């Protein structure tokens, strides 16, 4: 874990993976379950493709050392913590993570809540060369924001929380954004700890994400 300090003086932990001297970097954003085993696994896997990775513990602003599972009580706890953290504070933490990489090209990728935050990183910051969001439920409400970098989004067609009407609305509002949908895939299809995990869809979405970063992080 690497401790960083945001612009407002808040100190927070980041899970760090990969070679610190890698030529490219990624900010990986958590689900509403904290920087748990799944997020560490994802960070390590992405780092294995030649990235220096930081995964900020965004929940540190409300409660430190949060690692939740995937049961209903865990979800409720995650939603409770998320509600305590202003968007502006989250962006400051992301900004601090980007700054830690120096002058290297940096991408941002997030899952669930982090997928929505990756969209905010692309539209409300100008620090990223590319952004990828997986099943970000909050993107539709912010679909008219203008991205400052190329964006790729991934959604499961059977996601009970993100109707395909929302995805189509995003597509209409953002014709320049690359959007992939996965037939039969549910919310969290990329998480090996969830019942909704779909290995084939996770593998395909990750291959697409990595190809996108390889193209734009130069």
The Cα 52–Cα 24 span in angstroms is 6
Instruction: Provide the CATH number for the domain around residue 28.
Output: 3.40.50.1820
The Cα 184–Cα 170 span in angstroms is 20
Annotated catalytic residues are 112, 159, 187
What is the three-class DSSP state of 196? coil
Are 110 and 133 in contact, with CB atoms under 8 Å apart? yes
Give the pLDDT band of residue 161 (cuts 50, 70, 90).
Answer: very high
Residues in the chain: 218
Task: With a cut of 90, say whether residue 72 has pLDDT above it.
Answer: yes
Tell me the Cα Rg of the chain: 16
> What phi and psi values does residue 215 have, to the nearest 5 degrees?
-75, -40
116-160 residue pLDDT tens: 999 999 999 999 999 999 999 999 999 999 999 999 999 999 999
Give the pLDDT band of residue 218 (cuts 50, 70, 90).
Answer: confident
Dihedral (Cα; 102, 4, 192, 163), 10-degree rounding: -80
Section 9-28 average pLDDT: 97
Percentage of residues in the chain having pLDDT higher than 70: 100
Give the pLDDT band of residue 176 (cuts 50, 70, 90).
Answer: very high
Section 86-110 average pLDDT: 96
Question: Which domain covers residue 6, as residue numbers?
Answer: 2-216
Domains contained in the chain, number: 1
> Mean pLDDT in the chain?
97
What is the DSSP code (8-state) at residue 133? E
Q: What residues contact 152, with CB distance under 8 A and at least 6 apart? A: 130, 131, 132, 133, 177, 178, 179, 180, 208, 209, 212
Which of 139, 156, 142 shows the shortest CA–CA distance to 190? 156
């Amino acid at each position: 874990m690497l401790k960083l300090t945001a612009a407002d003086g808040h100190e927070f932990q980041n899970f760090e993976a990969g070679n610190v001297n890698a030529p490219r970097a990624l900010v990986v954003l958590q689900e509403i379950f904290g920087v748990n085993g799944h997020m560490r696994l994802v960070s390590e896997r992405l780092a294995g493709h030649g990235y220096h990775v930081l995964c900020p513990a965004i929940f540190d602003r409300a409660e430190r050392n949060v690692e939740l599972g995937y049961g209903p009580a865990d979800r409720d706890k995650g939603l409770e913590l998320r509600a305590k953290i202003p968007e502006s504070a989250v962006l400051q933490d992301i900004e601090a993570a980007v700054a830690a990489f120096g002058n290297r090209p940096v991408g941002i990728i997030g899952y669930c809540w982090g997928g929505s935050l990756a969209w905010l990183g692309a539209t409300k910051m100008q620090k990223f060369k590319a952004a990828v969001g997986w099943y970000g439920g909050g993107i539709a409400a912010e679909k008219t924001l203008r991205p400052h970098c190329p964006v790729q989004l991934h959604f499961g067609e059977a996601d009970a929380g993100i109707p395909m009407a929302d995805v189509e609305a995003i597509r209409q509002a953002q014709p320049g954004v690359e959007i992939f949908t996965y037939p039969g895939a549910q919310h969290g299809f990329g998480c090996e700890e969830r019942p909704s995990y779909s290995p084939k869809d996770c593998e395909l979405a990750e291959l697409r994400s990595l190809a996108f970063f390889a193209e734009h992080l130069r």
